[in-house]
Amino acid sequence: MAGKYRVSLEFGSYSDSELDAFAGKVVASLTKNASFPNPPVSLTDLGKLVTTFHSAVQDALPGGIQLTAAKNVAREALEDALRNEASYVQSIASHELDVLLTSGFLAGSTSRSSSPLTKPAIVLLDNVATTQLLVRLTPVPRAKSYLLQTSANGNGGWQDAGIFTQARRIVLSSLTPGTNYNIRARAIGGSTGYSDWSDPVAKMAT
């Protein structure tokens, strides 16, 4: 009988920074995870692919054909490994969503129809500890996860702060005390892949 849940392969459409963060989360989630003891790509090898891709992304930031090509090769190798891991996870947890989600992968929709996501709103932004901000979003129906970005002191562009699977308690860490951060978020999923960005909210890290 076909499984009730399937592992989402939408990571193939993520930006480089989103894929980097997502793959790192998968490695951390599968490490010492008793539900998935024998992944087809060892976590050591997957970790090396993540590290190689991360370095290639950083190297390619200034541009250049050769560096960009090397980054694309590293991305393809990482995506192939993640697809192998995703197939393995689905073979074990296709009937248990809670187990599937412990792998770090997301569950794909089982419905043939899909629609754009509404944008989330930041309903709480507060200091919880030194260098940490607590963010609470309005949950978005059918969202698989949420991407957050920060902009420090209004200078420069937005920087990815991570992908999170729930909306009600998100902790942003490693912030600089005394720095005022603009925070924004968008939901991942739906027919368009992403919602619109939330309205930004500002808070100073302590």
Assess whether pLDDT exceeds 80 at residue 184: yes
According to the model, what pLDDT value does residue 32 have?
95
Instruction: Sketch out the chain's domains with CATH numbers.
Output: 6-108 (no CATH), 122-204 (2.60.40.10)
DSSP state string for 35-103: T-S--SS-HHHHHHHHHHHHHHHHHTTT--HHHHHHHHHHHHHHHHHHHHHHHHHHHHHTT-HHHHHTT
Assess whether pLDDT exceeds 60 at residue 89: yes
Assess whether pLDDT exceeds 70 at residue 16: yes
Mean pLDDT over each residue of the chain, to the nearest integer: 89
pLDDT digits (tens, 9 = 90+) for 133-168: 999 999 888 888 899 999 998 666 888 898 898 898
The 8-class DSSP code of residue 167 comes to S
Assess whether pLDDT exceeds 90 at residue 170: yes
Q: Which residue has the higher pLDDT, 84 or 113?
A: 84
CA dihedral 37, 28, 89, 46 (to 10 degrees): -90
Q: Enter the tokens of residue 144.
A: 């698989």
According to the model, what pLDDT value does residue 87 have?
95
According to the model, what pLDDT value does residue 112 have?
46
